[in-house]
Structure 1
Protein backbone atom coordinates (compact mmCIF):
# COMPACT_ATOMS: atom_id res chain seq x y z
CA UNK A 1 0.00 0.00 0.00
CA UNK A 2 1.58 3.28 -1.10
CA UNK A 3 0.98 6.88 0.02
CA UNK A 4 -1.72 7.43 -2.60
CA UNK A 5 -3.60 4.45 -1.21
CA UNK A 6 -3.27 5.90 2.28
CA UNK A 7 -4.66 9.24 1.13
CA UNK A 8 -7.52 7.47 -0.64
CA UNK A 9 -8.49 5.49 2.46
CA UNK A 10 -8.32 8.54 4.74
CA UNK A 11 -10.41 10.64 2.33
CA UNK A 12 -13.00 7.88 2.10
CA UNK A 13 -13.02 7.51 5.89
CA UNK A 14 -13.62 11.23 6.25
CA UNK A 15 -16.20 11.71 3.49
CA UNK A 16 -18.01 8.33 3.65
CA UNK A 17 -19.01 8.94 0.03
CA UNK A 18 -17.39 7.73 -3.21
CA UNK A 19 -18.60 10.68 -5.28
CA UNK A 20 -17.18 13.25 -2.86
CA UNK A 21 -13.84 11.42 -2.72
CA UNK A 22 -13.71 11.23 -6.51
CA UNK A 23 -14.26 14.98 -6.74
CA UNK A 24 -11.73 15.68 -4.01
CA UNK A 25 -8.96 13.52 -5.50
CA UNK A 26 -9.84 14.15 -9.18
CA UNK A 27 -10.27 10.48 -10.01
CA UNK A 28 -13.25 8.47 -11.22
CA UNK A 29 -15.49 6.40 -8.97
CA UNK A 30 -14.68 3.17 -10.88
CA UNK A 31 -10.97 3.88 -10.32
CA UNK A 32 -11.62 4.24 -6.57
CA UNK A 33 -13.58 0.98 -6.51
CA UNK A 34 -10.80 -0.81 -8.39
CA UNK A 35 -8.10 0.53 -6.07
CA UNK A 36 -10.11 -0.44 -2.97
CA UNK A 37 -10.44 -3.98 -4.31
CA UNK A 38 -6.66 -4.16 -4.77
CA UNK A 39 -6.04 -2.92 -1.21
CA UNK A 40 -8.53 -5.45 0.16
CA UNK A 41 -6.82 -8.22 -1.80
CA UNK A 42 -3.48 -7.28 -0.22
CA UNK A 43 -4.95 -7.49 3.28
CA UNK A 44 -7.22 -10.41 2.38
CA UNK A 45 -10.09 -8.73 4.20
CA UNK A 46 -13.22 -6.72 3.51
CA UNK A 47 -12.41 -3.14 4.51
CA UNK A 48 -15.57 -1.22 3.53
CA UNK A 49 -19.27 -1.88 3.08
CA UNK A 50 -21.63 0.17 0.95
CA UNK A 51 -24.95 1.20 2.49
CA UNK A 52 -27.77 3.57 1.58
CA UNK A 53 -26.12 6.16 3.81
CA UNK A 54 -22.69 5.81 2.20
CA UNK A 55 -19.50 3.89 2.89
CA UNK A 56 -19.02 2.19 6.25
CA UNK A 57 -15.64 0.80 7.33
CA UNK A 58 -15.45 -2.66 8.86
CA UNK A 59 -13.39 -3.38 11.99
CA UNK A 60 -10.58 -4.51 9.70
CA UNK A 61 -10.98 -1.33 7.69
CA UNK A 62 -10.78 0.82 10.83
CA UNK A 63 -7.45 -0.81 11.67
CA UNK A 64 -6.07 -0.26 8.16
CA UNK A 65 -7.14 3.42 8.26
CA UNK A 66 -5.14 3.90 11.47
CA UNK A 67 -2.16 2.25 9.75
CA UNK A 68 -2.61 4.57 6.75
CA UNK A 69 -2.67 7.63 9.02
CA UNK A 70 0.53 6.46 10.72
CA UNK A 71 2.24 6.00 7.36
CA UNK A 72 1.31 9.50 6.20
CA UNK A 73 2.37 11.04 9.51
CA UNK A 74 5.74 9.28 9.41
CA UNK A 75 6.30 10.35 5.81
CA UNK A 76 5.47 13.96 6.68
CA UNK A 77 7.79 13.84 9.69
CA UNK A 78 10.63 12.42 7.59
CA UNK A 79 10.13 15.06 4.91
CA UNK A 80 10.04 17.79 7.57
CA UNK A 81 13.29 16.50 9.04
CA UNK A 82 15.04 16.41 5.66
CA UNK A 83 13.93 19.95 4.84
CA UNK A 84 15.04 21.03 8.30
CA UNK A 85 18.61 19.88 7.56
CA UNK A 86 18.96 22.78 5.13
CA UNK A 87 20.03 26.20 6.37
CA UNK A 88 17.26 27.69 4.26
CA UNK A 89 13.74 27.92 5.71
CA UNK A 90 11.72 25.73 3.38
CA UNK A 91 9.24 22.90 3.47
CA UNK A 92 5.62 22.48 4.48
CA UNK A 93 3.97 24.34 7.36
CA UNK A 94 0.77 22.64 8.51
CA UNK A 95 -1.63 25.07 10.16
CA UNK A 96 -5.02 24.37 11.71
CA UNK A 97 -6.97 27.55 12.38
CA UNK A 98 -10.40 28.37 13.75
CA UNK A 99 -12.72 29.44 10.93
CA UNK A 100 -13.46 33.06 11.86
CA UNK A 101 -9.81 33.90 12.53
CA UNK A 102 -8.92 32.24 9.21
CA UNK A 103 -11.49 34.36 7.39
CA UNK A 104 -10.97 37.77 8.96
CA UNK A 105 -7.35 37.99 10.15
CA UNK A 106 -5.22 35.15 8.78
CA UNK A 107 -5.09 36.13 5.06
CA UNK A 108 -2.98 39.25 5.62
CA UNK A 109 -0.78 37.42 8.11
CA UNK A 110 -0.03 34.58 5.71
CA UNK A 111 0.63 37.04 2.89
CA UNK A 112 3.30 38.80 4.95
CA UNK A 113 4.75 35.50 6.13
CA UNK A 114 4.96 34.15 2.57
CA UNK A 115 6.71 37.32 1.42
CA UNK A 116 9.41 36.69 4.04
CA UNK A 117 9.61 32.93 3.43
CA UNK A 118 8.70 32.27 -0.22
CA UNK A 119 9.96 28.66 -0.10
CA UNK A 120 7.54 27.59 2.61
CA UNK A 121 4.43 25.80 1.42
CA UNK A 122 1.43 26.25 3.73
CA UNK A 123 -1.14 23.51 4.28
CA UNK A 124 -4.13 25.14 5.96
CA UNK A 125 -7.11 23.46 7.62
CA UNK A 126 -9.94 25.43 9.19
CA UNK A 127 -12.81 24.50 11.46
CA UNK A 128 -14.25 24.84 14.93
CA UNK A 129 -11.82 25.39 17.78
CA UNK A 130 -12.33 21.95 19.35
CA UNK A 131 -11.57 20.28 16.01
CA UNK A 132 -8.53 22.50 15.49
CA UNK A 133 -7.21 21.43 18.89
CA UNK A 134 -7.77 17.76 18.08
CA UNK A 135 -5.82 18.08 14.83
CA UNK A 136 -2.89 19.47 16.78
CA UNK A 137 -3.10 16.62 19.31
CA UNK A 138 -3.19 14.08 16.44
CA UNK A 139 -0.10 15.66 14.77
CA UNK A 140 -2.17 16.63 11.74
CA UNK A 141 -0.92 20.19 12.27
CA UNK A 142 2.35 21.78 13.43
CA UNK A 143 0.54 24.77 14.90
CA UNK A 144 -3.01 25.59 15.90
CA UNK A 145 -4.72 28.95 16.21
CA UNK A 146 -7.95 28.74 18.16
CA UNK A 147 -10.33 31.04 20.00
CA UNK A 148 -11.32 30.40 23.58
CA UNK A 149 -9.46 29.23 26.66
CA UNK A 150 -9.05 25.51 26.01
CA UNK A 151 -6.84 23.37 28.23
CA UNK A 152 -3.38 22.80 26.70
CA UNK A 153 -0.34 21.60 28.65
CA UNK A 154 2.34 22.46 26.08
CA UNK A 155 3.34 25.76 24.45
CA UNK A 156 0.73 28.50 23.97
CA UNK A 157 0.80 32.22 23.28
CA UNK A 158 -2.02 34.76 23.32
CA UNK A 159 -2.07 36.46 19.92
CA UNK A 160 -5.40 38.26 19.78
CA UNK A 161 -8.20 39.61 21.94
CA UNK A 162 -11.68 40.74 21.00
CA UNK A 163 -14.75 42.08 22.71
CA UNK A 164 -18.11 40.34 22.61
CA UNK A 165 -20.58 42.85 21.20
CA UNK A 166 -24.31 43.34 21.04
CA UNK A 167 -25.30 44.97 17.75
CA UNK A 168 -28.63 46.44 16.71
CA UNK A 169 -30.06 48.55 13.90
CA UNK A 170 -31.91 50.66 16.46
CA UNK A 171 -30.81 52.05 19.84
CA UNK A 172 -31.72 49.82 22.78
CA UNK A 173 -32.36 50.31 26.47
CA UNK A 174 -30.25 47.61 28.04
CA UNK A 175 -32.47 47.27 31.07
CA UNK A 176 -35.30 46.23 28.71
CA UNK A 177 -33.20 43.83 26.63
CA UNK A 178 -35.30 40.69 27.41
CA UNK A 179 -38.26 42.38 25.67
CA UNK A 180 -36.44 42.98 22.36
CA UNK A 181 -36.29 40.32 19.60
CA UNK A 182 -32.97 38.48 19.56
CA UNK A 183 -31.15 36.73 16.73
CA UNK A 184 -29.50 33.86 18.56
CA UNK A 185 -25.99 32.86 17.48
CA UNK A 186 -25.55 29.09 17.85
CA UNK A 187 -21.82 28.91 18.47
CA UNK A 188 -19.23 26.76 20.23
CA UNK A 189 -19.67 25.75 23.84
CA UNK A 190 -17.06 28.10 25.32
CA UNK A 191 -18.43 31.24 23.68
CA UNK A 192 -22.00 30.18 24.47
CA UNK A 193 -21.02 29.84 28.10
CA UNK A 194 -19.45 33.33 28.14
CA UNK A 195 -22.63 34.88 26.71
CA UNK A 196 -24.94 32.83 28.95
CA UNK A 197 -22.96 33.84 32.03
CA UNK A 198 -23.20 37.50 31.04
CA UNK A 199 -26.94 37.19 30.55
CA UNK A 200 -27.60 35.52 33.92
CA UNK A 201 -25.45 38.13 35.67
CA UNK A 202 -27.59 40.93 34.26
CA UNK A 203 -31.12 39.57 33.72
CA UNK A 204 -33.58 37.33 35.52
CA UNK A 205 -35.78 36.79 32.41
CA UNK A 206 -34.75 34.68 29.38
CA UNK A 207 -34.02 36.34 26.01
CA UNK A 208 -36.71 36.66 23.36
CA UNK A 209 -35.12 34.51 20.60
CA UNK A 210 -36.89 34.95 17.25
CA UNK A 211 -34.22 33.44 14.98
CA UNK A 212 -31.43 30.90 15.53
CA UNK A 213 -28.46 30.72 13.14
CA UNK A 214 -25.12 28.91 13.29
CA UNK A 215 -23.24 31.36 11.05
CA UNK A 216 -21.99 34.60 12.55
CA UNK A 217 -22.36 36.40 9.20
CA UNK A 218 -26.05 35.42 9.02
CA UNK A 219 -26.67 36.79 12.52
CA UNK A 220 -24.82 39.99 11.71
CA UNK A 221 -26.65 40.58 8.44
CA UNK A 222 -30.07 39.78 9.92
CA UNK A 223 -29.39 42.36 12.63
CA UNK A 224 -28.54 44.88 9.92
CA UNK A 225 -32.08 44.49 8.52
CA UNK A 226 -33.57 45.54 11.86
CA UNK A 227 -35.04 42.11 12.57
CA UNK A 228 -33.53 42.10 16.05
CA UNK A 229 -30.29 42.40 17.96
CA UNK A 230 -27.56 39.79 18.10
CA UNK A 231 -24.52 39.07 20.27
CA UNK A 232 -21.40 38.15 18.33
CA UNK A 233 -17.59 38.44 18.50
CA UNK A 234 -15.98 41.67 17.36
CA UNK A 235 -13.76 39.89 14.83
CA UNK A 236 -16.55 39.72 12.23
CA UNK A 237 -17.37 43.45 12.23
CA UNK A 238 -15.75 45.94 9.91
CA UNK A 239 -15.68 49.72 10.41
CA UNK A 240 -18.72 50.05 8.13
CA UNK A 241 -20.73 47.85 10.48
CA UNK A 242 -19.78 50.09 13.41
CA UNK A 243 -20.76 53.15 11.38
CA UNK A 244 -24.22 51.91 10.41
CA UNK A 245 -25.29 50.09 13.60
CA UNK A 246 -25.52 50.62 17.33
CA UNK A 247 -22.85 48.59 19.10
CA UNK A 248 -22.74 47.78 22.80
CA UNK A 249 -19.82 45.87 24.34
CA UNK A 250 -20.89 43.25 26.88
CA UNK A 251 -19.83 44.29 30.37
CA UNK A 252 -20.07 42.76 33.79
CA UNK A 253 -22.02 44.52 36.57
CA UNK A 254 -18.59 45.85 37.62
CA UNK A 255 -18.16 47.42 34.14
CA UNK A 256 -15.46 44.95 33.04
CA UNK A 257 -15.39 44.19 29.33
CA UNK A 258 -16.23 40.65 28.23
CA UNK A 259 -13.16 39.51 26.31
CA UNK A 260 -12.42 36.45 24.20
CA UNK A 261 -8.82 35.34 23.66
CA UNK A 262 -7.19 33.72 20.64
CA UNK A 263 -4.18 31.45 21.19
CA UNK A 264 -1.30 30.05 19.15
CA UNK A 265 -0.60 26.48 20.31
CA UNK A 266 2.11 24.01 19.43
CA UNK A 267 3.99 21.03 20.79
CA UNK A 268 7.50 21.66 22.10
CA UNK A 269 9.09 19.17 19.71
CA UNK A 270 7.66 20.98 16.66
CA UNK A 271 9.82 24.03 17.35
CA UNK A 272 12.80 21.95 16.19
CA UNK A 273 11.49 22.41 12.64
CA UNK A 274 12.75 25.54 10.91
CA UNK A 275 9.37 26.32 9.32
CA UNK A 276 7.62 26.20 12.70
CA UNK A 277 10.32 28.23 14.41
CA UNK A 278 10.15 30.83 11.63
CA UNK A 279 6.37 31.15 11.91
CA UNK A 280 6.47 31.55 15.69
CA UNK A 281 9.19 34.21 15.39
CA UNK A 282 7.08 35.93 12.73
CA UNK A 283 4.02 35.98 15.01
CA UNK A 284 6.09 37.34 17.90
CA UNK A 285 7.34 40.18 15.69
CA UNK A 286 3.78 40.89 14.61
CA UNK A 287 2.79 41.11 18.26
CA UNK A 288 5.58 43.57 18.97
CA UNK A 289 4.48 45.73 16.06
CA UNK A 290 0.86 45.70 17.28
CA UNK A 291 -0.46 44.13 14.10
CA UNK A 292 -2.42 41.36 15.83
CA UNK A 293 -2.98 42.01 19.52
CA UNK A 294 -5.91 44.32 20.24
CA UNK A 295 -5.63 47.22 22.69
CA UNK A 296 -9.16 47.95 23.86
CA UNK A 297 -10.74 51.35 24.16
CA UNK A 298 -14.37 51.15 25.31
CA UNK A 299 -15.17 54.42 23.55
CA UNK A 300 -13.90 53.37 20.14
CA UNK A 301 -16.70 53.00 17.53
CA UNK A 302 -19.16 52.23 20.34
CA UNK A 303 -22.53 53.81 21.05
CA UNK A 304 -22.75 54.01 24.84
CA UNK A 305 -26.03 54.28 26.72
CA UNK A 306 -26.76 57.41 28.70
Structure 2
Protein backbone atom coordinates (compact mmCIF):
# COMPACT_ATOMS: atom_id res chain seq x y z
CA UNK A 1 0.00 0.00 0.00
CA UNK A 2 1.35 3.44 -0.93
CA UNK A 3 2.29 5.87 1.84
CA UNK A 4 0.71 9.30 2.35
CA UNK A 5 3.80 10.94 0.82
CA UNK A 6 3.28 8.87 -2.33
CA UNK A 7 -0.40 9.84 -2.36
CA UNK A 8 0.70 13.48 -2.20
CA UNK A 9 3.08 12.86 -5.12
CA UNK A 10 0.26 11.36 -7.23
CA UNK A 11 -2.06 14.24 -6.32
CA UNK A 12 0.51 16.82 -7.43
CA UNK A 13 1.15 14.96 -10.69
CA UNK A 14 -2.60 14.82 -11.41
CA UNK A 15 -2.90 18.53 -10.60
CA UNK A 16 0.01 19.66 -12.81
CA UNK A 17 -0.15 17.00 -15.58
CA UNK A 18 3.46 17.92 -16.27
CA UNK A 19 6.58 16.16 -14.93
CA UNK A 20 8.75 19.28 -14.79
CA UNK A 21 6.18 21.40 -12.93
CA UNK A 22 5.34 18.55 -10.56
CA UNK A 23 9.04 17.98 -9.82
CA UNK A 24 9.45 21.69 -9.01
CA UNK A 25 6.49 21.63 -6.61
CA UNK A 26 7.79 18.48 -4.92
CA UNK A 27 11.41 19.76 -4.78
CA UNK A 28 12.81 16.68 -6.52
CA UNK A 29 14.54 16.08 -9.84
CA UNK A 30 12.56 14.82 -12.82
CA UNK A 31 14.48 11.51 -12.98
CA UNK A 32 13.84 10.91 -9.27
CA UNK A 33 10.14 11.71 -9.72
CA UNK A 34 9.93 9.42 -12.74
CA UNK A 35 11.55 6.58 -10.80
CA UNK A 36 9.19 7.02 -7.85
CA UNK A 37 6.20 7.03 -10.21
CA UNK A 38 7.37 3.78 -11.79
CA UNK A 39 7.64 2.19 -8.32
CA UNK A 40 4.14 3.35 -7.40
CA UNK A 41 2.69 2.09 -10.68
CA UNK A 42 4.37 -1.25 -10.03
CA UNK A 43 2.66 -1.39 -6.63
CA UNK A 44 -0.73 -0.75 -8.26
CA UNK A 45 0.08 -3.23 -11.03
CA UNK A 46 -0.92 -0.85 -13.83
CA UNK A 47 -0.01 2.34 -15.67
CA UNK A 48 -1.51 5.42 -14.04
CA UNK A 49 -0.17 8.14 -16.38
CA UNK A 50 0.66 8.24 -20.08
CA UNK A 51 3.45 10.58 -21.17
CA UNK A 52 3.35 12.59 -24.40
CA UNK A 53 4.99 15.72 -25.81
CA UNK A 54 2.04 17.74 -24.44
CA UNK A 55 2.51 16.41 -20.91
CA UNK A 56 0.76 13.73 -18.88
CA UNK A 57 -2.69 12.21 -19.18
CA UNK A 58 -4.45 9.81 -16.84
CA UNK A 59 -5.30 6.26 -17.79
CA UNK A 60 -8.75 4.97 -16.77
CA UNK A 61 -7.04 3.14 -13.90
CA UNK A 62 -5.20 6.35 -13.05
CA UNK A 63 -8.49 8.24 -12.77
CA UNK A 64 -9.75 5.69 -10.23
CA UNK A 65 -6.53 5.80 -8.21
CA UNK A 66 -6.37 9.63 -8.16
CA UNK A 67 -9.99 9.82 -6.99
CA UNK A 68 -9.11 7.44 -4.14
CA UNK A 69 -5.88 9.35 -3.39
CA UNK A 70 -7.64 12.71 -3.13
CA UNK A 71 -10.28 11.23 -0.83
CA UNK A 72 -7.56 9.86 1.46
CA UNK A 73 -5.73 13.21 1.52
CA UNK A 74 -8.97 15.05 2.31
CA UNK A 75 -9.79 12.62 5.12
CA UNK A 76 -6.25 12.92 6.48
CA UNK A 77 -6.68 16.72 6.70
CA UNK A 78 -9.93 16.29 8.62
CA UNK A 79 -8.31 13.84 11.05
CA UNK A 80 -5.40 16.22 11.62
CA UNK A 81 -7.83 19.09 12.21
CA UNK A 82 -9.72 17.01 14.76
CA UNK A 83 -6.46 16.14 16.54
CA UNK A 84 -5.40 19.79 16.53
CA UNK A 85 -8.81 20.77 17.93
CA UNK A 86 -7.96 18.71 21.02
CA UNK A 87 -5.03 20.99 21.79
CA UNK A 88 -5.43 24.27 23.62
CA UNK A 89 -3.36 26.24 21.10
CA UNK A 90 -4.91 27.21 17.74
CA UNK A 91 -3.37 25.12 14.97
CA UNK A 92 -4.62 23.71 11.70
CA UNK A 93 -5.67 25.36 8.47
CA UNK A 94 -8.53 27.84 8.39
CA UNK A 95 -10.25 27.35 5.04
CA UNK A 96 -12.28 30.39 4.00
CA UNK A 97 -14.21 31.29 0.86
CA UNK A 98 -15.00 35.01 0.61
CA UNK A 99 -16.91 37.21 -1.79
CA UNK A 100 -14.26 39.12 -3.78
CA UNK A 101 -15.50 42.54 -2.73
CA UNK A 102 -15.14 41.58 0.96
CA UNK A 103 -11.79 39.92 0.34
CA UNK A 104 -10.41 43.08 -1.25
CA UNK A 105 -11.83 45.74 1.06
CA UNK A 106 -12.63 44.33 4.52
CA UNK A 107 -11.03 40.94 5.14
CA UNK A 108 -7.29 41.92 5.05
CA UNK A 109 -7.58 43.85 8.34
CA UNK A 110 -9.30 40.88 9.99
CA UNK A 111 -6.73 38.38 8.69
CA UNK A 112 -3.88 40.58 9.91
CA UNK A 113 -5.29 40.46 13.46
CA UNK A 114 -5.88 36.72 13.20
CA UNK A 115 -2.38 35.74 12.00
CA UNK A 116 -0.78 38.08 14.55
CA UNK A 117 -2.72 36.51 17.41
CA UNK A 118 -2.53 32.90 16.16
CA UNK A 119 0.82 32.48 14.34
CA UNK A 120 0.57 28.66 14.28
CA UNK A 121 -2.67 28.67 12.28
CA UNK A 122 -2.56 28.51 8.49
CA UNK A 123 -5.00 30.13 6.07
CA UNK A 124 -6.43 28.81 2.81
CA UNK A 125 -8.42 31.49 0.98
CA UNK A 126 -10.78 31.32 -1.99
CA UNK A 127 -12.40 34.43 -3.45
CA UNK A 128 -15.18 34.71 -6.00
CA UNK A 129 -18.83 35.57 -6.45
CA UNK A 130 -21.22 34.75 -3.62
CA UNK A 131 -22.72 31.90 -5.67
CA UNK A 132 -19.23 30.38 -5.96
CA UNK A 133 -18.74 30.73 -2.19
CA UNK A 134 -21.95 28.80 -1.53
CA UNK A 135 -20.80 26.09 -3.97
CA UNK A 136 -17.49 25.76 -2.10
CA UNK A 137 -19.42 25.34 1.17
CA UNK A 138 -21.82 22.76 -0.26
CA UNK A 139 -18.89 20.78 -1.68
CA UNK A 140 -17.05 20.87 1.67
CA UNK A 141 -14.03 22.66 0.19
CA UNK A 142 -13.95 25.26 3.00
CA UNK A 143 -14.90 25.60 6.67
CA UNK A 144 -16.73 28.93 6.41
CA UNK A 145 -17.87 31.34 3.73
CA UNK A 146 -18.48 35.08 3.74
CA UNK A 147 -21.04 36.20 1.18
CA UNK A 148 -23.01 39.26 0.12
CA UNK A 149 -26.80 39.42 -0.09
CA UNK A 150 -29.42 37.37 1.73
CA UNK A 151 -28.46 33.69 1.66
CA UNK A 152 -30.75 30.69 1.70
CA UNK A 153 -28.63 28.70 4.13
CA UNK A 154 -29.75 26.04 6.62
CA UNK A 155 -26.53 25.89 8.66
CA UNK A 156 -24.96 28.47 10.97
CA UNK A 157 -25.56 32.00 9.67
CA UNK A 158 -24.01 35.07 11.34
CA UNK A 159 -24.79 38.61 10.16
CA UNK A 160 -21.57 40.62 9.96
CA UNK A 161 -22.49 44.08 8.66
CA UNK A 162 -24.48 46.05 6.13
CA UNK A 163 -23.35 48.89 3.89
CA UNK A 164 -25.27 51.41 1.81
CA UNK A 165 -25.24 51.65 -1.97
CA UNK A 166 -24.28 54.94 -3.64
CA UNK A 167 -24.48 56.46 -7.08
CA UNK A 168 -20.92 57.72 -7.51
CA UNK A 169 -19.78 60.39 -9.97
CA UNK A 170 -17.53 63.43 -10.38
CA UNK A 171 -20.35 65.59 -11.79
CA UNK A 172 -23.80 64.21 -10.91
CA UNK A 173 -25.20 65.55 -7.64
CA UNK A 174 -28.76 64.14 -7.83
CA UNK A 175 -30.15 60.91 -9.34
CA UNK A 176 -32.29 62.75 -11.93
CA UNK A 177 -29.18 64.11 -13.64
CA UNK A 178 -28.33 60.64 -15.03
CA UNK A 179 -31.12 61.16 -17.58
CA UNK A 180 -29.33 64.22 -18.99
CA UNK A 181 -25.71 63.06 -19.08
CA UNK A 182 -24.22 61.42 -22.18
CA UNK A 183 -21.54 59.66 -20.15
CA UNK A 184 -22.08 55.93 -19.61
CA UNK A 185 -23.41 54.01 -16.63
CA UNK A 186 -20.45 51.80 -15.65
CA UNK A 187 -21.43 48.42 -14.24
CA UNK A 188 -19.35 45.53 -12.93
CA UNK A 189 -20.19 41.85 -13.38
CA UNK A 190 -21.73 40.41 -10.23
CA UNK A 191 -24.11 37.83 -8.87
CA UNK A 192 -27.58 38.00 -10.37
CA UNK A 193 -29.28 39.02 -7.11
CA UNK A 194 -27.07 42.12 -6.77
CA UNK A 195 -27.62 43.00 -10.42
CA UNK A 196 -31.38 42.57 -9.92
CA UNK A 197 -31.37 44.91 -6.91
CA UNK A 198 -29.76 47.65 -9.01
CA UNK A 199 -32.13 47.00 -11.90
CA UNK A 200 -35.19 47.21 -9.63
CA UNK A 201 -34.00 50.48 -8.09
CA UNK A 202 -33.21 51.94 -11.51
CA UNK A 203 -36.63 51.16 -13.00
CA UNK A 204 -38.46 52.42 -9.90
CA UNK A 205 -36.48 55.64 -10.11
CA UNK A 206 -36.45 56.35 -13.86
CA UNK A 207 -38.86 53.95 -15.66
CA UNK A 208 -36.36 53.79 -18.52
CA UNK A 209 -33.03 52.15 -19.33
CA UNK A 210 -29.67 54.01 -19.15
CA UNK A 211 -28.66 55.82 -22.36
CA UNK A 212 -25.29 54.07 -22.46
CA UNK A 213 -23.85 51.20 -20.43
CA UNK A 214 -20.31 49.90 -20.06
CA UNK A 215 -19.80 46.55 -18.30
CA UNK A 216 -16.42 45.69 -16.77
CA UNK A 217 -15.18 42.48 -15.11
CA UNK A 218 -13.97 43.87 -11.78
CA UNK A 219 -15.53 46.25 -9.27
CA UNK A 220 -12.16 48.00 -8.81
CA UNK A 221 -12.06 48.80 -12.55
CA UNK A 222 -15.60 50.17 -12.29
CA UNK A 223 -14.61 52.32 -9.31
CA UNK A 224 -11.48 53.74 -10.96
CA UNK A 225 -13.37 54.59 -14.15
CA UNK A 226 -15.97 56.49 -12.12
CA UNK A 227 -13.29 58.23 -10.04
CA UNK A 228 -11.58 59.36 -13.25
CA UNK A 229 -14.75 60.88 -14.67
CA UNK A 230 -15.34 58.37 -17.47
CA UNK A 231 -18.88 57.68 -16.29
CA UNK A 232 -21.02 57.11 -13.22
CA UNK A 233 -21.42 53.92 -11.18
CA UNK A 234 -23.38 52.39 -8.34
CA UNK A 235 -20.99 51.16 -5.65
CA UNK A 236 -21.36 49.79 -2.10
CA UNK A 237 -19.87 51.78 0.76
CA UNK A 238 -17.39 48.96 1.51
CA UNK A 239 -15.48 49.89 -1.67
CA UNK A 240 -15.32 53.62 -0.96
CA UNK A 241 -13.55 53.81 2.38
CA UNK A 242 -14.33 57.52 2.87
CA UNK A 243 -10.98 58.74 1.51
CA UNK A 244 -12.17 59.67 -2.01
CA UNK A 245 -11.99 63.35 -3.04
CA UNK A 246 -13.97 65.39 -5.59
CA UNK A 247 -16.51 62.59 -5.83
CA UNK A 248 -20.24 62.94 -5.26
CA UNK A 249 -21.88 60.05 -3.42
CA UNK A 250 -25.67 59.91 -3.69
CA UNK A 251 -27.33 57.26 -1.49
CA UNK A 252 -29.82 54.98 -3.20
CA UNK A 253 -33.27 55.19 -1.58
CA UNK A 254 -35.74 52.28 -1.68
CA UNK A 255 -39.53 52.32 -1.94
CA UNK A 256 -39.78 52.80 1.86
CA UNK A 257 -37.62 55.93 1.66
CA UNK A 258 -34.73 54.12 3.36
CA UNK A 259 -31.14 53.64 2.23
CA UNK A 260 -30.70 50.64 -0.05
CA UNK A 261 -28.16 48.41 1.68
CA UNK A 262 -26.20 45.25 1.07
CA UNK A 263 -25.79 42.62 3.81
CA UNK A 264 -22.70 40.53 4.49
CA UNK A 265 -23.02 37.12 6.17
CA UNK A 266 -20.72 34.46 7.58
CA UNK A 267 -21.91 30.91 6.86
CA UNK A 268 -20.84 27.40 7.74
CA UNK A 269 -21.92 23.99 8.92
CA UNK A 270 -22.22 23.35 12.67
CA UNK A 271 -19.30 20.90 12.60
CA UNK A 272 -16.92 23.57 11.26
CA UNK A 273 -17.65 25.87 14.20
CA UNK A 274 -16.34 23.18 16.58
CA UNK A 275 -12.82 23.65 15.16
CA UNK A 276 -10.62 25.90 17.28
CA UNK A 277 -9.25 27.84 14.30
CA UNK A 278 -12.80 28.65 13.18
CA UNK A 279 -13.88 29.65 16.68
CA UNK A 280 -10.82 31.88 17.00
CA UNK A 281 -11.47 33.51 13.61
CA UNK A 282 -15.10 34.24 14.50
CA UNK A 283 -13.99 35.89 17.76
CA UNK A 284 -11.49 38.08 15.86
CA UNK A 285 -14.26 39.09 13.43
CA UNK A 286 -16.62 40.04 16.27
CA UNK A 287 -13.91 42.13 17.92
CA UNK A 288 -13.10 43.84 14.63
CA UNK A 289 -16.74 44.74 13.96
CA UNK A 290 -17.12 46.06 17.50
CA UNK A 291 -14.06 48.29 17.02
CA UNK A 292 -15.41 49.57 13.70
CA UNK A 293 -18.73 50.51 15.30
CA UNK A 294 -17.17 52.42 18.20
Distance change (3 Å), C-alpha of 1:185 and 1:269? same
Structure 1 Cα separation of the partners of residues 17 and 259 of structure 2: 44
Aligned to 2:106: 105
5+ long unaligned stretches in structure 2: none
Distance change (3 Å), C-alpha of 1:51 and 1:113? same
CA shift for structure 1 position 30: 7.9
Distance change (3 Å), C-alpha of 1:167 and 1:46? same
- Size of the aligned set, in residue pairs, is 290
Structure 1 Cα separation of the partners of residues 27 and 267 of structure 2: 33
CA shift for structure 1 position 201: 1.9
Aligned to 1:87: 88
Structure 2 Cα separation of the partners of residues 8 and 272 of structure 1: 31
Rg (Cα) greater in structure: 2
Per-residue CA deviation, residues 257-293 of structure 1 (Å, 9 max, x unaligned), is: 1111111111111222222222223323334x243x6
CA shift for structure 1 position 238: 2.6
Instruction: Name the stretch that deviates more: 83-92 or 36-45.
Output: 36-45
When normalised by structure 2's length, the TM-score is 0.81
Residue 223 (structure 1) aligned with residue 226 (structure 2): yes
Aligned to 1:300: none
Distance change (3 Å), C-alpha of 1:116 and 1:166? same
When normalised by structure 1's length, the TM-score is 0.79
Aligned to 1:302: none
CA shift for structure 1 position 192: 1.0
Q: Is the 8 A contact 1:179 1:208 kept in 2?
A: no
Structure 2 Cα separation of the partners of residues 143 and 57 of structure 1: 33
Distance change (3 Å), C-alpha of 1:3 and 1:261? farther
RMSD: 3.3
CA shift for structure 1 position 80: 0.8
5+ long unaligned stretches in structure 1: 296-306
Distance change (3 Å), C-alpha of 1:159 and 1:19? farther
Q: Is the 8 A contact 1:179 1:207 kept in 2?
A: no
Aligned to 2:144: 143
Aligned to 2:270: 268
